[in-house]
Structure 1
Amino acid sequence: MVANNPQKRSKPKTLKSEFGKVISFLHLWLGLAAGTILLVVALTGCILTFEDELTPIIYAQEQKVTPAPARLSADSLVSLAKLTYPKKKIFRIYLPAEKDQSVKVTFGTKKKGYDYLYMNPYTGAILAKGKEAERFFPVVLNLHRYLLAGDTGKIITGISCAITFFMTLSGLYLWWPNNKKVLKQRLKVKMDASRKRLNWDLHGVGGFYAMIFLFFITLTGLIWSYDWVETMMFKMTDGKKEQVEVVKEPEGKIKKEKGIVELVVTATNTVYPTHGQIMITFPDKKGKPFTVSKENSAALVDTVSQLYLDSRTAKVLKVASFSSLSLGSQVRKLNKSIHTGSILGWPTKIIAFLTALITASLPITGLLIWLGRGKKKKSKPKVNPLLSKPEPAVL
């Protein structure tokens, strides 16, 4: 049968197709809106992934020392450090487990900012000092979390993180092929394809592989950004958020022991004999104890346990080991390790770095896809050169 004017049959609209259009619309415009922020956050995330490895390289003169037979006591180091900042209150001292690393001491408060100094633990020599906020990695972290804009920047990055979380899920929905035969094509980049196809592959295929890990990175970012997400995490693990107990020292006048900081170090190593850095936070008010954290770098997952000790006698007031915490509190403690990829050492750090790098490319490839979306030219009917009339369509 021949029809001179065939009518084009349109596919009936379905709920799935309409939902796909909405997802595609939101994925496009939310991606364009948050693209610049995502690019900045992802690139700074690449740098921060290897902060622990890069710091000794960038600041070799202040980080590395030549080991000697014996280190100075923690109290001697604190006394020497106070000579540099006599008018400031000591905040924290970091005592590394490695013999060739320097000791870090910080002064000040969170509100007014911190001053730092690095010391040779064998000689007491000051290796470096300055404002903590002006160092390279704290600046990068400030850009990563606050865009150098304080609370306003935190709101923006929080919204951007939520958008990225949605983009991760919506991207998977848009990537998933209807035909299983196409699945193999969606799993690899066709390097010999046209520039337009190559760009799509870099966005789609790269985004798919990054999505697997970006899901956890954005989720941990949301826990930092929003209290309700943190509360939801606790409800999903323990049913409710664990209440933080305020530890106080016993009342009464008690004579302060000599060499109190060194006694704290000894007590900490007795309770936690594992290998790892000790971080002692000094009490900011009378009646408050020392808060000590010690890493367990020998474990598969580098966990941190805490200890509370009387600031006058170094008597242990409370032991809060990582293993004794509830599941929700353990997950919350590991939030940073999961976010930065340091949870299992080098393997997960490399994965986190590559994920952040691919994520930084997605706003660029996505923008190129959008710019390359031209209007499809309407196909002209085939013309018989002899009759100069449209050929009839055969049904």
Structure 2
Amino acid sequence: MHRWVALAVGLFVFLVSLTGAALVFENQIDRVLNSRLFYVKPQGERLPLQQLLERVRSTYPENRVTSVRLAEGAGLSYQFQLSKRITVYVEPYTGQILGTRSMEQWEVGLARRLHLLHTRLMAGQTGERIVGVISFLTAFLVVTGLILWWPACILTFRRRGSWKRWNSDAHYALGFYTAPIALVMAVSGVIIAFGDFADPLIDRLNAEPPPARPTRVASTSNDRPISLDEASRIARETLPGAALVLLAFPEGARPIVAQMKYPEDRTPAGRSRVFLNPYSGELLLVESARQAGLGTQLHNLKRSLHTGDIFGWPTRILYLIASLILALLWVTGMFMWWPAFRARRKNRLAQRATVRETIGERGH
């Protein structure tokens, strides 16, 4: 079963593993390839958010600005999202517009294509389901591989012996050491791919359902929205210790949403939210990752468990190595299977030849 499943989906596992290894550096790849948009030289204090917003509005008056993503570090730009699916990159110290990138340009970038190839095989929702099945079968290969490893308990490569022996030892030993991380990646991949089925089950682990998020607020024609700096101040005071990642300010009487990130939250956008009345600054709802129910905590963990972000760079490097080894296991497995396949095929042909000769002799 281990052999035939590996032969059936091994090439897909190889592809998903290699792209997964590359995606450990997804953000870094995108930034390096678009360095003029992302990297800036730190110089003093950053300008107020509202001032940067007005600069973007005056530069692109035909567009409505819908959100701003703050920089993760001192040497990175701010990203203002426009209503026409365009991102404007701004130097936060001087307000200089570094450039723009449309959603279409982002979609064809290398980092995004690697992401879509890994998660959906470039085939939309159907591809995501296929990747989910591949993840499930990868988990099956890990478990059956451990069962096959157990009798011999091979932990190292033998220095002496043929290349076949060395290849076999490598397959068993590397598979054993990689198994825990590979199993976590595979199971979390199944949960993510089949979220329509898994998420409602995880939600049931909450003691009570989370409160509904506000979508509208009362307003009058005289109401003026608060500044982004005021919204930023309220959000930071509401969740002290959490960094502000993004401010979304939809059009009309809709709440401002501040996405917040605690130090222990390794996901890029953070898992905490603060909803504000855009005119009064009143708190409408607070979603703190530190006070979330069990089900919500599992939702928050599944991505970082899958990507290796769970404990930062140490686990990301481990996941990188594990992904590369998973791809290598397909190669070593093929080298184990092919000589045996050729030998069996040769024996079957020889047996058939012997049978034909025997039949021929009896005929004479």
Q: TM-score range by the shorter chain?
A: 0.7 to 0.9
Q: Could you say which residue in structure 1 is the equivalent of 2:237?
A: 270
Q: Displacement of 1:116 after TM fit? A: 1.9
Does the 8 Å contact 1:56/1:63 carry over to 2? Answer: yes
Q: Is the 8 A contact 2:88 2:99 kept in 1?
A: yes
Superposition pairs of residues 1-395 of structure 1, within 5 angstroms: 25=1, 27-83=2-58, 85-96=60-71, 98-108=73-83, 114-131=85-102, 132-177=106-151, 182-183=152-153, 186-226=154-194, 227-235=196-204, 237-238=205-206, 242-243=209-210, 245-253=212-220, 255-257=222-224, 259-274=226-241, 276-283=243-250, 286-297=252-263, 299=264, 304-373=271-340, 374-375=343-344
Deviation at 1:31, TM superposition (A): 1.5
C-alpha deviation, 1:255, in angstroms: 4.0
Task: Spell out, residue by residue over 1:307-361, the C-alpha distance to the aligned partner (whole angstroms, 9 max, x if none).
Answer: 1111223222111111111012112112211111111112111111111111111
CA distance in 2 between counterparts of 1:349 and 1:118 reads: 27
Contact 1:260 1:312 in 2 (8 A): no
SS at the partner of 2:145? helix
Does structure 2 conserve the Cα–Cα contact (< 8 Å) formed by 1:254 and 1:312? no
Letter in 1 for 2:176: F
Structure 2 counterpart of 1:34, one-letter code:
V
Aligned partner of 1:10 in structure 2 is none
**Secondary structure at 2:198's aligned position in 1?**
helix
Q: Which has the higher helix share?
A: 2
Shift of 1:165: 1.7
> What TM-score results when the alignment is normalised by the length of structure 2?
0.83
Letter in 1 for 2:14: L
CA distance in 1, matches of 2:144, 2:328: 17
| Shift, 1:85, TM fit | 4.9
For 1:166 and 1:85, the matched residues in 2 are separated by: 53
Q: 1:100 to 1:156 in 2, by over 3 A?
A: same
Conserved? CA contact 2:248–2:256, under 8 Å: yes
2:180 partner amino acid: I
Q: Do the aligned partners of 2:156 and 2:170 also contact (CA within 8 Å) in 1?
A: no
Q: Determine the C-alpha separation between the residues in 1 that align with 2:222 and 2:5.
A: 62
* Counterpart for residue 8 of structure 1: none
Question: Aligned-pair distance for 1:283?
Answer: 2.4
Structure 1 pair 250–104 and aligned structure 2 pair: CA distance change class (3 A): closer
- Partner Cα distance (1:282, 1:140) in 2: 31
Query: What's the counterpart of residue 354 of structure 2?
Result: none
How far did residue 87 of structure 1 move? 4.2
- Normalised by the size of structure 1, how large is the TM-score? 0.77
Gaps of 5+ in 2: 349-364
The one-letter amino acid paired with 2:145 is G
RMSD over aligned Cα atoms: 2.7
- Give deviations 1:47-92, integer Å, cap 9, x for gaps: 1112344555444433222223332222232233345554444343
TM-superposed CA distance for 1:105, in Å, is 1.9
Aligned-residue offset at 1:146? 1.4
Q: Which has the higher contact order (CA 8 A, sep 6+)?
A: 1
Cα distance in 2 between the residues matched to 1:333 and 1:42 = 23
Equivalenced residues, count: 339
Kindly provide the amino acid, as one letter, of the partner of residue 136 in structure 1: L
Deviation of 1:300 after TM superposition, in Å, equals 8.0
Return the alpha-carbon distance in structure 2 between the equivalents of residues 196 and 123 of structure 1.
Answer: 62
Shift of residue 145, structure 1, vs aligned partner: 0.8
Kindly state the Cα deviation for residue 256 of structure 1 after the two structures are TM-superposed: 3.7
Q: 2:30·2:110 contact (CA, 8 Å) conserved in 1?
A: no
SS at match of 2:164: helix
